[in-house]
Structure 1
Amino acid sequence: MKGHLLLIPSPLDFGTGGTGEAGGAAVPDIRQVLPMGALEAAAGLRHWVVENARTARAVLKRVNAVVPLAVPLQQLQIAELPRPPKGRAAQPAADLRPLLQPALQGHDIGLMSEAGMPAVADPGAALVAAAHGLDIAVRPLPGPSALLLALAASGLDGQRFAFNGYLPVDAAERAARIRELEGLSRRAVQAQLVIETPYRNEPLLAALLSTLQGSTRLSVSCGLTLAGGWTRSDTVARWRAQPRTLPADVPAVFVFQA
């Protein structure tokens, strides 16, 4: 019999190991953000495919403090997802079947992303697709998704929404994309979600405030699940009148709706 591909959620604090701080906020106990069922499933796995091996090991150390791992951390088989080359034209999709070989031999495999739910806004989706192509059963486990947490906290439309990933870095292209999404939001009555690398949080917020219409509602969720995490949801006009600085080392999710 074939094994399963288990989608193991991870904390939203980027696997700091639980001993330090993330953006000045104490890292929460892993039991506060992951269900016990997910912790037990993670502890029992011997084969992993992950986005970043260092982050995965840090998370698994935190799991081990709650539920002992089936084998020592050093004995786990941890493979990283291939990363597409930067600055090049689109490349053919990598063959991910070798990463799934343990499942074809009857072993369960865990998939872990850098933060949150694997395969959602995450390169792990390609591995999930490859698993389906090999008739390997995929089993998602419950855990935090920054996108859904931010949407829920925003007060904006939770029935009609779209996730748009990263906006262009070029200022003119970014502004054009923001206007395009604002128009789509108005026509479709739809909330729009975008994200950015933390060190670009402030430039993205500035671009949103300078481009969106004053009546458009903007919600920013920062440091979700951390002790100092917060969400502010208000009109762009009020954001402009009462600006707030965003940290450059804590993830944020931006939601707006015209």
Structure 2
Amino acid sequence: MTTQQQRVALVTGGTGGIGLAIARRFQDDGLRVAVLDLDRPEAREVAAQHGLTFIGADLGKREDCRRAIDEAVAALGGLDVLVNNAGFQHIAPVADFPEDTWDAMLRVMLTAPFLLSRYAWPHLTRSGQGRIINISSIHGHVASPFKSAYVSAKHGLIGLTRTAALEAGEQGLTVNAICPGYVRTPLVTGQMEAQARTRGISPEEVEQKVMLESAAIKQLLNPEDIAALASYVASPAAWGMTGAVLDIDLGWTAR
């Protein structure tokens, strides 16, 4: 069993964007952290730069999900916190959405969090202070056109969160979801640039007039903002919070 000073976290999609920000915040909080990502040289390099244990895995494969948990536990001696953050985006109308892309997105963003939670369960409950944090989205509440797979996965992740929380409570394991609005990550920046070309306007106009149109606060979030919330949810202070769906969305869903 890991001690309070030696708590261990595994963050999927942990070598960039929100995942890396969470991993680094956990390090600042005194946790030992493993990050999971596709096994690429650049991902390994990022992990090494920040002193993070790297686990290369394809979350679309069931056997990789099991191996990832086994490797994290073997490398760091236990597991107290699992952050299901990995995902990707594809934009297309339902009538033309590629079937194989739909399958891949659901495997990575919904089936993998279930499998990782299932395989990690004995370790997370053993410590008596286990945490599962699922990174959902404002699109776990509402829909946008052309994002059917992403929206479906994020809605499903909230359902998984609530169900697992009910089952885990007596074992000292909390399960919560964080639902960010638009965050300034390479993925979002790329989307802004693509929309700017399509619409014939500047990326700055896309940010204000498209992405932040429904927000009360007209400013993109930063990955560190999501990491700060994850830090609290992972902490012992959040022992009574479970089954919660925590919006950090600039007021996007308040309408």
TM-score by shorter chain over 0.5 = no
Q: TM-score, normalised by structure 1?
A: 0.36
Higher relative contact order (CA 8 A, sep 6+): 1
TM-score (norm 2): 0.36
Larger Rg: 1
More helix by share: 2
